Chains A and B, each alone.
Chain A
Amino acid sequence: MVFKISAFLESFLSAIKYAHVTIELTAISFVISLFLGLIIATIRHFKVKVLSQIFAAFITIYMGLPMMVAIVLYNLIFMTCYPDIALKLHINIPISEINPIFIGYFALIMGYTCILSESIRGAYRGVANVQFEAGYSIGMTKLQTLRRIILPQMVPILLPGMQNSLIGLLKASNLVSAISIIEIMNGALLPSVRYYSYLEGYVAAALVYWIIGATIEILAHYLEGRVGNYNKKSEYKTGRTEESIDRIKRSEEKLWQA
């Protein structure tokens, strides 16, 4: 057995061909999770009665569920329930023709809504309380203060963590391969099945992931340089410590970066 370059190249091209599936999964899930996460974090930050407790309990429990288990579980539930539901609703599409990708979306969004809501909650705490008070003091409403004063200040706090979450989501999207969705990895393996060149296929998949991940890192780096200029000075003073602690905190997201 040797590493066959031709098989590797074929796998690489095939992975590239299916990269859009991974990118769409990642990007769409990220945007939706970010939106839902912001809502949940806001509810929890302002301690809205009942709702904030429900979310707190749900997130604590749900964070204990590995993404892989969630995906195979949701897939199984769908497979077992679909025939009956279809019958009741008079849907005539056979189950084999339904693309299970929506299960992937559902699992990824559920997981990352929890994660991102936690990051956003952290960012809320990172903005000094006096900023709210200052907003109110000039007669702004809560919503105005939030939109014009607080959220813009949260962006630079959030950016480094968001970059990690996005790469984490990119990698987590790989797990939908377990329910036979053809994304980068399964795409790279299509030629492998013919030639029994699995190693070549997996290395090709790794390379494509690595390229996308590096692109995200470069873009994020560029973005970080552009926002948050207003607190540059304080960063200069304590930058090293804060950055390191930040890095430690970011490892929290490892939970889901399967």
Chain B
Amino acid sequence: MIELKGVKKSFGKHEVLKDVSIKVEEGEVVVILGASGSGKTTFLRCINFLEKADEGTMQFGDKTIDFKTAKKNEILHVRRHSAFVFQNYGLFANKTALQNVMEGLTQVQKKSKAEAEKIAKETLDWVGLSDRYDYYPSQLSGGQQQRVGIARAIALKPEVILFDEPTSALDPELVGEVLDLIKKVAQMGITMLVVTHEMSFAQDVADKVIFMDAGVVVEEGKPDEIFVNPKEERTRQFLSRIISLEPMYNI
């Protein structure tokens, strides 16, 4: 489905991604873990060309794209067959929940307004926001905003959804509702690539876990392998640190 090879990215002198390669099969849920600054968010953004990678190639469906020479229509192709869920929701501030979901359907997929509205309403119902169609983002809670963000993504029927720390901007009590929804999306069989700090979520949902540190993939494998028997020392350190911190979240 998607395969990235040799992705490199620097911000000035700081090398954020040093030769990252991953492969995601169709229908697979892949979770990327790593400390902040490990490059995982940058990597996810590179896939959707929100950051321009310096080097590397991407096999997307049957298309192969070189990041260095990526053309406008190749970028649009990837964006139109994938969706992105932002850490800070990224809802269009000038549009209501319903308009946020409709926007891509009418403007990008050129669906009729009536059809777009029907799909958008169904999707919002599905994420549990049937009573919030006409609310502006500023009138919604963080959890509700993120659910609109997810509705906007799935309404477009993408081949893959990229989640960039979808719960890390949320108040602790709202994390659950969003994680439950993402699990529901995963059960639909959509290919997903999720950057997150939620360990138990990764353990429950992921088909594959990738651990990144300092701009490289340190280790990847089934969740059981990674969480129970990590091979690499760096993974072990990261996990022990997180697990020892975890109880603190319950205060």
- State if A and B touch, Cβ cutoff 8 Å: no
Q: Which residues of A line the B interface, CB within 8 A?
A: none
